[in-house]
C-alpha cells in the first residue's frame, strides 16, 4: 500500500521539516484514493526521528515545507519522493497530490490572504 507522509503544523504544512512535531500519514488504497489517515506526534523536533518515521512507514512520498538540501538528498537516496516548499493547508495539498497536480514550491494559501 502506498503511503504519503505530510509534515504538518496544525492544519497547515509545517514551514520547516527540521522543526516539525507532527506528521500526517495517509495510506492510499485502490485507485490511489485515501484508505486511512493517522497522526504521529514527535516528542521533540528531530530530523533523524522524522527520517526514521519515513523509513519505518515505508512512505513513498513526503510533502513538506522548507527542507535542507542534505535531508532532501538523504530522502531521495532512500527513493522517497519529496514535494517540498509547499505553503498551505495539508488538506488542500493532499487533494492536489491525489489529482497529480501538486509540485514543489506550490503556494496554496491564496484564499487566506488578508
Partner 1 sequence: MQSLRRSLQMQDLSINLVAVLDEMPIGVCLVSKERRIALMNRALEAMTGFLRADCKGLPCSHVLRFNHCFDNCPVKRTEGGQRCVLEGDIINQDNQKLPVRMTFAPLRDGTGQISGYIETLEDLRQVRNLLSARISPFSFGRIIGRSPQMEKIFRSLPVIAQSEMPVLITGQIGTGKDHVAEAIHHASSRAGNPFVTYRCGGLPEFLVESELFGVEKGAFAGAGNKPGKFRLAQNGTLYISEISDLTPSLQAKLLNWLDEKIIYPLGGSKSFHADVRIIASTSRDLSQMAKEATFQNELYFRLNAVSLHLPPLKERAEDLRLLMDHFLHARASLLHKKITGFSDPCLRRLLEYDYPGNILELRLIVEYAVSLCLTERIELGDLPAYLTENLTGLDAKSPISPSPQGSDGTSADGGFDWSAIERKMIMDALMKVKGRRSKAAQLLGWGRSTLWRKMRRYGIT
94 Cα distance to chain centroid: 9
Which residue's CB is nearer to partner 1, number 40 or number 47?
47
* Cα dist from 70 to 20, 40, 95, whole Å: 16, 23, 28
How many other C-beta atoms lie within 10 A of the C-beta of residue 38? 10
Q: Does 68 bind partner 1 (CB under 8 A)?
A: yes
Window 13-42: residues binding partner 1 (CB under 8 A): 15-19, 28, 32
Count the residues of the shown chain that bind partner 1, applying the rule CB under 8 A.
39
- Contact of 22 with 74, CB cutoff 8 Å: no
Q: Does 85 bind partner 1 (CB under 8 A)?
A: yes
Least distance (Å) from partner 1 to the CB of residue 34? 12
Those residues with Cβ within 8 angstroms of residue 39's Cβ, 6 or more apart along the chain or in another chain: 22, 23, 24, 25
Binding site for partner 1 (CB under 8 A): 2-3, 9, 12, 15-19, 28, 32, 45, 48, 51, 60-61, 65-70, 72-74, 77, 79, 81, 84-85, 87, 100, 105, 107, 109-110, 112-114
Amino acid at each position: 500500500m502506498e503511503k504519503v507522509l505530510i509534515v504538518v503544523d496544525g492544519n497547515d504544512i509545517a514551514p520547516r521539516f527540521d522543526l516539525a512535531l507532527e506528521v500526517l500519514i495517509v495510506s492510499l488504497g485502490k485507485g490511489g484514493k485515501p484508505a486511512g489517515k493517522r497522526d504521529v506526534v514527535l516528542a521533540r523536533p528531530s530530523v533523524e526521528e522524522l527520517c526514521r518515521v519515513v523509513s519505518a512507514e515505508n512512505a513513498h512520498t513526503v510533502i513538506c515545507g522548507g527542507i535542507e538540501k542534505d535531508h532532501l538528498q538523504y530522502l531521495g537516496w532512500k527513493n522517497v519522493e519529496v514535494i517540498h516548499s509547499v505553503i498551505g493547508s495539508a488538506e488542500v495539498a493532499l487533494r492536489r497530490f491525489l489529482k497529480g497536480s501538486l509540485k514543489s514550491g506550490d503556494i496554496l494559501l491564496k484564499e487566506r490572504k488578508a
